Amino acid sequence: MLKLGVLASGRGSNFQAIIDSIESGYLDAEVAVLITDNPDAYAIKRAEKHGIPHLVMLPKEHPSKDAYYEAIAQELKKREVELVILAGFMRVVKKPLIDAYPMRIMNIHPALLPSFPGLHGQRQAVEYGVKVSGCTVHFVDEGVDTGPIIIQAAVPVYDDDTEESLSERILRQEHRIFPYAIKLFAEGRLSVEGRVVRIEGHKKEDFFFTNPPLE
């Protein structure tokens, strides 16, 4: 059983999708700990509801950003976490945590990377006028949304879309592909060659997840 450590800053809807996937038997994993930088994060209530331990770790309580991420890495290691999940963690992860978990930190981003990295990917897509957007699960490196891409899902962008309406459409796909990416990792089906993530035994039915039908 794969041990997960989840980092979240807000409502934690992707965290909930992962919990649901575990409880349904879809994912052979357990969340060993939720770590948040926000004592008011709704993700904490989700953790409490499902009996998941949580920690509030504030950057201001550490002498530097590196010290903060070193402390997070120590907490994860203490709980024998094997894969770190960024589920709406609104900070750029620094080198001490990346070095502790190389190609074992996953993030989800609400755009089809490498387009529209950083904050407000949905707003960027609407303002740019693209006709297709989506979401991306990727491994984390030292850049901002620059790590190797694991899986993506596409959604249409309509002429009357707002940031909010597009965000809702993308979020539904986030809740599908994030658990799937974790499942691939848990099954030992992912390997990284340079920038390319290879998926062993990738079947047509798997491909459905990477390119779901347009709504």
Instruction: Give CA angle at 59 (53, 62), nearest 5°.
Output: 100
Closest CA to 81 of 185, 198, 180: 185
Matching residue, tokens 């990738």? 202
Pairing of strands 105-109, 196-199: unpaired
DSSP H or E segment with residue 109:
strand 105-109
Non-local CB neighbours of 127 within 8 Å, separated by 6+ positions: none
The Cα–Cα gap between 5 and 136 comes to 20
Helix (H, G, I), strand (E, B) or coil at 130: coil
Q: Can 109 be counted among the known catalytic residues? A: yes
Active-site entry in 50, 54, 109, 138: 109
Which residues are the active-site residues?
Answer: 109
